[in-house]
Amino acid sequence: MTPLPFWSARSRHLINSHALAILTLCVCSLLFSVSSCAQSNAITLSRNLGELVLESDTVVQGWVTSVTVEPHAQLKNLMTVIVAIRVEDTLKGSTTNSYTFRQAVIDRKDLREELGYRTGQHLLMILYKTSQFGLTSPAGMEQGRFRIESASNGKLMATNGFGNAGLFRGLDSQLKARSVQVEPEIQAMILNPGVGAASLEQLKSLIRTIAATKSAK
């Protein structure tokens, strides 16, 4: 029996509409996934020390005196962590005795853990310029936050959230391209491919050199 033309046309229309809806959903899902991946990659993009310092606005060493969690005054649905630091040394930016910054919190786990900040921590912070909303963060996220600890010999050492992995990768060639010379012991630190704590004194000297190079340009 030959099917009625009316029902055949309607069936084809319903099938085509259904297929179009599925295709649209797939495309939207793909675009959302690409966008999410791009954002994630931007957050975790590996940066060496030179890139971190050149992209930063402030570099300070000091002790965390307070950590406070509170919602942003303008962005009502955004939670933030406010960190106050008693500054020992300013390597880049305006010299000050204290420095306070506000960092956005997106993840609930990070909110519970206050982004890992604790009163009494000894830190070296490489920070981006504060935004119009009063927000900033370490350059390269955990790559720009260094915990300072004493080694067994009493020497102060600094380690970022990535265990200093990739911290000096490609830095030697970048410094040579800028005609920047460093002391032999710092050159040895740069060329050492190992991962782990770095001498705070040498790290600070290198940061000052990089920061001064940008200022002179």
What confidence tens digit (pLDDT) does each residue in 40-71 have?
Answer: 334 568 899 999 999 999 999 999 999 999 99
The residues pairing with 158 across neighbouring beta strands, listed in sequence order, are 148, 198
CA–CA dist 186, 147 (Å, integer): 20
Helix axes 184-191, 200-216, angle to 10 degrees: 100
Concatenated DSSP letters of 31-100: HHHHHHHHHHHHHH----HHHHHHH-SEEEEEEEEEEEEEE-SSSTT-EEEEEEEEEEEEEESS--SEEE
Q: Is the pLDDT of residue 14 over 60?
A: no
pLDDT at 21: 43
pLDDT over 80 at 168, yes or no: yes
pLDDT band at 76 (very low <50, low <70, confident <90, very high): confident
pTM of the predicted structure, to 2 decimals:
0.77
